Chain A
């Protein structure tokens, strides 16, 4: 980011005091920009460890206060999108495709998921807004409300972006679920279950699904990382006050502390996500013991 032309100083100073070189240098020193980049990074890290994310260069507000509420928006968006992409679309889609392998429902699911995969997220978002406002004469509210304040209003605002994001993430999960189910259905223990007289439905849901879902969970976890990337775009399209939008804004304003905090937050988030996936994995697959 230091490589991006135009510094925060010139931006700040343009508005404030004109281009007095003395004032510029004073400001640089105040923000610590006169020191080399590694020294800047070092002191930032030292502060972060103490729980101080610093202040925004732009608004002077502590970064933590800026980030807190936005983090919630992004988390909610990603969580809803993950639920939609896996539980609502991906896994049921894969189950249907596998159950009707090589017949028309399989083809339909596969074509639709291929389409969903090839469409850019922002376009999907825009189309959803367009479709809902033109055809159903309904558009999402413009100001964000916390779900704890007004759950209905919050959902009205979040549902379309979550669908847009979830659609984008569903396609690989559909394919994985389908192939995984088909593979599991050929296993010996499925034949054993059949030999006890279990019905096909029972075999699918009680015997095959749990086994088939194990690899899908890992990939759904990795998906989440991808969804964060998509969330940045979707927040912009739906003007949601999330971390992604904050990050974009901070980058264009060269607001270093905010950018660093956003990146750090996303990083920590991904780490926790991986841990969560591992725990879920161990829960689903008794052959894996945590701590081995």
Chain B
């Protein structure tokens, strides 16, 4: 099987057994004022995640990464969201499930780690109780055994004095420790997929690195496939095997990590890479960054939605939506650009 096959969305019907998550043509509209004023936030997102894979979704703030994750989990407010497309989880389409069926999916098959560890744990419940409660939602394990398992997990995520921490409240822990607890919480339900939405954005840089290393180790040893959502391409490099680049609610490029980092096929990806600080960057020189800001979701440009910020844009880009262009070999992935695979880095041509 080639990487191209791995990444290309499957056509119809249930995906093969080793596919733990298959998203097809996901579109999400959100309402800003209770059932009125609908805005298309996610416009056609498709990807396939296989057992044990580590995938990253990268994009600037507002590109729709979190909404994608929440749509998959069906965690958006029902009355203010409209989701279409298919989300295959464990051989079933989650979009067609009842709320009850969906609750059995959450945590058990797909668990989430959220961005803000300071507010994502219940302030009035002890750490151990929160983990135990989550575990016991999905298995018949006894309170005592669950507590022992929670202790084991706290040890596993390298929390010092785990016996005491089990009885601690969230406010007694630092941000990094709380995020470790969140990782333990996600692992405790033994999910097939873990979606980590900017798990380290709220943390100090040094703590960030520790938590990312830990997350990678733990998901590997538990055999969970992972989706890392981040705006930081630097984090992705050390973690993921595959990358999806997201812009204005669409996947604009997908491919294996080395290829995307070394040879971006979409100008947007190239722009993100150029703005990344590397060791041989002259610290006095201003880093080239993509000019302008991503479009507001209620005001997405015609044609290619990136064209107003693109240094390669032509009239074609302004009027016509580009096709998804596969690379020379299918394992290279694909990019949605009229000039895909022929990208000039920003600032080079001018």
Contact = CB atoms under 8 A, between A and B. Distances in A.
Interface in B100-137: 103-108, 111-112, 114, 116, 119-125, 133-134, 137
Contact of B105 (A188, A197, A210): A197
B122 A189 contact: yes
A101 to B, nearest CB: 10
A193 interface: yes
Given A192-B114, A206-B133, A197 B123 contact: no
Contact of B116 (A188, A199, A286): A188
B119 A285 contact: no
A207 B122 contact: yes
B107 A197 contact: yes
A198 interface: yes
Contacts of B105: 197
A197 B104 contact: yes
B169 A197 contact: no
A210 B126 CA distance: 13
A54 B189 CA distance: 69
A285 B108 CA distance: 30
Q: Is the interface of A mostly helix, strand, loop or mixed?
A: helix
A181 B107 CA distance: 24
A41 to B, nearest CB: 46
Nearest to A200: B99
B121 A192 contact: yes
Contacts of A210: 124-125
A23 interface: no
A286 B107 contact: no
Interface in A178-228: 187-189, 191-199, 206-207, 210-211, 214
A194 B75 contact: yes
B124 A284 contact: yes
B345 to A, nearest CB: 39
A284 B73 CA distance: 31
A193 B123 contact: no
Contact of B171 (A187, A194, A199, A286): A286
B75 A196 contact: no
Contacts of B121: 189, 192
Nearest to B134: A196
Contact of B119 (A187, A207, A286): A187
A60 interface: no
Interface string B221-244: 000000000000000000000000
Contact of B106 (A187, A197, A207, A214): A197
B185 interface: yes
Contact of A193 (B73, B122, B138, B169): B122
A197 B111 CA distance: 9
A210 B129 CA distance: 14
Contact of A211 (B107, B114, B124, B138): B124
B107 A195 contact: yes
A191 B107 CA distance: 12
A195 B124 contact: no
Greatest chain B CB density within 10 A among A187, A189, A214, A284 is at A189
A187 B182 CA distance: 16
Nearest to A194: B75
B189 A196 contact: yes
Contact of A196 (B119, B125, B171, B185): B185
B111 A286 contact: no
A285 B170 CA distance: 12
B123 A286 contact: yes
A191 B75 contact: yes
Interface in B64-122: 73, 75, 103-108, 111-112, 114, 116, 119-122
A287 interface: yes
A188 B120 contact: yes
Nearest to B119: A188
A199 B119 CA distance: 20
Contacts of B114: 188, 191-192, 195
A195 B75 contact: yes
Given A197-B105, A198-B134, A286-B123, 18 more contacts: A188-B120, A191-B75, A191-B120, A192-B114, A192-B120, A192-B122, A192-B185, A194-B106, A195-B73, A195-B107, A195-B111, A196-B189, A197-B106, A197-B108, A207-B122, A285-B123, A285-B124, A287-B123
Interface of A: 187-189, 191-199, 206-207, 210-211, 214, 284-287
Interface of B: 73, 75, 103-108, 111-112, 114, 116, 119-125, 133-134, 137-138, 169, 171, 182, 185, 189
18 contacts: A188-B116, A189-B120, A192-B114, A194-B75, A194-B106, A195-B73, A195-B75, A195-B111, A196-B107, A196-B189, A197-B104, A197-B106, A198-B133, A199-B103, A207-B122, A286-B124, A286-B171, A287-B169
